[in-house]
Chain A
Amino acid sequence: MTRFSIDIWGEMCPIPLIKAKKKLSSMQCGDILVLETEHSCTSRGIVVWAKANRYIIEEKEVANGIWHLELTKTHD
């Protein structure tokens, strides 16, 4: 169970999602991907995508307009 993170700060959809997908495919099951964004639609898009793909996703607004996401890779 390793924690990875990628820098998506200031990037607009769909770039963060494409980066997250790419990173995810190189990770093992049980690994966690940590993401932080200041765009509500980026956060929303990743949460919706993760739920549709049955990954575990935790979203937290850590400050006004800043979202912290933790995505667990549950399956290949």
Chain B
Amino acid sequence: MKKTLQTIIHGPWAYWIGAIILGLLNILVLIVRRQPWGVTWNIEIWAEWIGTNLGVLSDRGFTFEGLMAASGTYLNLGLLLGAFWATLVASQVRFRPIRDKKFFFSALIGGLLMGYGARIAYGCNVGALLNGIASSSLTGWIFAFAVFLGTWLGSKLLLKYLM
């Protein structure tokens, strides 16, 4: 019993347990929000709002009040805070410096490409792939094929430049 509690708090959870909980919570999001879970759409409207205020984008009518009322804002914040909280509870929080410059730049370039790709595909892993396939959208399957192709290419690059 003590060991079970220890595992719940400290981990590691079995992958299948995490998968089931994630699936159930995803259904809950769909029921409450009447719209599937997605991460990048909300990041895009925040970016557009910042861009508009900096004067580099034309105004598409996103206001701060509107963003603070968007459910996606809280889903994304919850994702970050929840992950941080879980690490905190498991007492695994630690400042982890970047080992090598090349990892910094590869992460930066990777993030930019992922963000750009997610937006021109109208969704990310969560919005287009998981929820796309779950709602029998063809987009999800095309996205999955592209993900495998991209991962294959990414692995080749990783072995060549980052090892």
Q: Which B residues between 68 and 102 are near A, CB-CB below 8 angstroms?
A: 87, 91-94, 96-100
> Which residues of B are in contact with A by a Cβ distance under 8 Å?
11-12, 87, 91-94, 96-100, 103, 158-159, 162-163
Partner of A18, one of B91, B92, B103, B163: B163
Contact indicator A10/B12 (Cβ below 8 Å): no
- Output the least CB separation between A65 and chain B (Å): 4
CA distance in complex: A18, B91 (Å)? 28
Query: How many pairs of A and B residues are in contact by the CB < 8 Å rule?
Result: 33
Please give me the residue from chain A that is nearest to B103 by CB atom: A12
* Main SS class of interface, B: loop
The stretch of A27-35, A36-44, A68-76 that contacts the partner chain: A36-44
Which 4 pairs between the two chains have the least Cβ-Cβ distance?
A10-B99, A65-B94, A65-B92, A64-B91
> Which residues of A are in contact with B by a Cβ distance under 8 Å?
9-12, 14-15, 18-19, 38-40, 44, 64-66
Please give me the residue from chain A that is nearest to B13 by CB atom: A44
Central interface residue in B12, B93, B98, B100, by most chain A CB within 10 Å: B12
Contact indicator B97/A65 (Cβ below 8 Å): no
- Known contacts A15-B158, A38-B96, A64-B92: A44-B12 contact under CB 8 Å: yes
CA distance in complex: A18, B11 (Å)? 24
- Output the least CB separation between A40 and chain B (Å): 6
- Known contacts A9-B99, A11-B99: A64-B94 contact under CB 8 Å: yes
Please give me the residue from chain A that is nearest to B99 by CB atom: A10
Residues of B within 8 A of A12 (CB): 103
Residues of A within 8 A of B100 (CB): 10
Contact indicator B93/A10 (Cβ below 8 Å): no
CA distance in complex: A39, B12 (Å)? 13
Contact indicator A15/B162 (Cβ below 8 Å): yes
- Output the least CB separation between A37 and chain B (Å): 10
Contact indicator A66/B96 (Cβ below 8 Å): no
